[in-house]
Amino acid sequence: MSHHDESCADFIERIVYLLDNELDEDDVHAVKEHLDRCAPCLERYDVQRTVKSLVARSCSEAAPDTLRQRVLLSIREVHIRYTEQS
């Protein structure tokens, strides 16, 4: 099957790989060519790129120290309860 015969379904997974820079040069070219011709796939690409960006940004933010301390305390309490039950 040539790249020209592929349907949108064939590109959905490769769009994710494109965003993660995990495609070889030929696949990058094929996906970008498809995105240039296909508005629904381009929209899906834009949504996935936005979500990936938001997740990356929120993962780099540190939790407030008070929240961090409460979480650590809860973890210790669960650990103690688990240890006492064993």
Instruction: State what percent of residues in the chain have pLDDT above 70.
Output: 92
Checking if the pLDDT of 3 tops 70, the result is: no
Residue appearing with tokens 């790249």 = 3
> How much is the average pLDDT of 68-73?
91
Q: Which domain holds residue 31?
A: 3-61
**Tally of domains within the chain:** 1
Is the pTM above the cut of 0.75?
no
Q: What is the predicted pLDDT for the residue at 55?
A: 86
Asked if the structure places residue 56 within a domain, the reply is yes
Contacts of residues 43-50 at CB distance under 8 Å and 24 or more positions apart, as own/partner, are 44/12, 44/15, 45/15, 45/18, 45/19, 48/15, 48/16, 48/19, 49/19
Per-residue pLDDT, 13: 86
Residue 38 CB contacts under 8 Å (≥ 6 apart), including other chains: 8, 11
On whether residue 83 sits in a domain, the answer given is: no
